Amino acid sequence: MLRIWLSSLMLLVATLNQGCTPYNAPIVNLEQPPSQLIETHLVEEGESLYSIAWRYDFNVKDLARINRLSEPYRLRKGQVLNLDKDSKIKFKPQAKITAPKIVERPQVNPKKSTVSDSLVKPSGKKLRWQKPTEGKIIEAYNPKDLRKGIIFQALAGSSVKPAAQGLVVYAGDGLRDYGKLVIIKHSDYLLSAYGHNQKLLVKEGQVVDGSKIISKLGSNGRLYFEIRKDGKPINPVAYIK
């Protein structure tokens, strides 16, 4: 009786196996959608053309050209800026706004300039570069790792001075990841930035030189320092070494 029962069970299992097909899980292609290119920027309170150009790695002259802006680059809250770098819009000046120019900058041809002969003061003399604060560099410039500048480790509350003479074109905290930031214009295509400050001591429109204290560091004593040429980050060490 037991043999008959076992034989019947084995026959049932064999029949079921023949009727079954292996189950294959469906393959779903989860390709990441292409990232969308940001083509416009809505101006917010406290922003300047220089801070917006800095955010998007623009040369401020190019950003002004494609948006038909002329100096002194006045913006209004809610204004929409075109960020299309390939725009073919020809430059047409805005209605002229009367405002005194603080510093006249000589025209410099970047194609013929070098690090030594392009750093020119309004007076015609070459700029003198210096470290913006005392301390050592704890994070080096490395564009492959998206490190666009360097970080100094100084003492808590240390003073920050301009790396070279220039015009303050931005002083505020409107750029994410930079904290309280100062941007200084040294020529038509060369700017420097000083971020992660505790206190700012200058305002937009001020002319500063290497002796002027522009900010104070916080309790961690860290300063983020960056130099850009034609809107692109370059190694600051080449200038302040």
Angle (nearest 5°) at CA 41 between 192 and 98: 70
Question: 94 in a domain, yes or no?
Answer: yes
d(CA 150, CA 227): 9
d(CA 150, CA 130): 14
d(CA 50, CA 20): 69
Give 124's pLDDT tier (boundaries 50, 70, 90): very low
The amino acid at residue 101 is K
User: Which pLDDT score, from 0 to 100, does residue 196 have?
Assistant: 96
- Torsion-angle region of 157 (φ positive above 0: left; ψ -120 to 50: alpha; else: beta): left
Record the pTM.
Answer: 0.68
Question: 28 in a domain, yes or no?
Answer: no
Burial class, 82, CB count within 10 angstroms (exposed 0-12 / middle 13-18 / buried 19+):
middle
Residue-wise pLDDT for 34-85, tens only, equals 445 788 999 998 888 999 999 998 889 999 999 999 988 889 999 999 998 8
The amino acid at residue 207 is V
The amino acid at residue 85 is K
User: Which pLDDT score, from 0 to 100, does residue 180 have?
Assistant: 96
Question: 122 in a domain, yes or no?
Answer: no
Residue 2: helix, strand or coil by DSSP?
helix
Residue-wise pLDDT for 174-230, tens only, equals 888 899 999 999 998 899 999 999 999 999 999 999 999 999 999 999 999 999 999
The reply to whether 90 and 147 lie within a common domain is no
Count of CB atoms situated within 10 Å of the CB of 32: 5
The reply to whether 173 and 78 lie within a common domain is no
Question: 65 in a domain, yes or no?
Answer: yes
Extract the tokens encoding 110.
């970047």
Question: 84 in a domain, yes or no?
Answer: yes
| Mean pLDDT for the stretch of residues 109-134 | 59
The range of the structural domain enclosing residue 67 comes to 37-98
Residue 52: helix, strand or coil by DSSP?
helix
Question: 23 in a domain, yes or no?
Answer: no
CATH no. for residue 77? 3.10.350.10
Domain-ending residue, one of 73, 98, 123: 98
Q: How many domains does the chain have?
A: 2
Q: Which residues pair with 195 in a beta bridge?
A: 224
Q: Which residues pair with 191 in a beta bridge?
A: 185, 228
User: H/E/C letters for each residue in 24-36?
Assistant: CCCCCCCCCCCCC
The reply to whether 94 and 144 lie within a common domain is no
Distance (Å) of CA 54 to CA 61, 157, 175: 12, 26, 9
Residue 81 contacts by C-beta under 8 Å, 6 or more apart in sequence? 40, 41, 43, 52, 63, 67, 75
CATH no. for residue 188? 2.70.70.10
Question: 115 in a domain, yes or no?
Answer: no
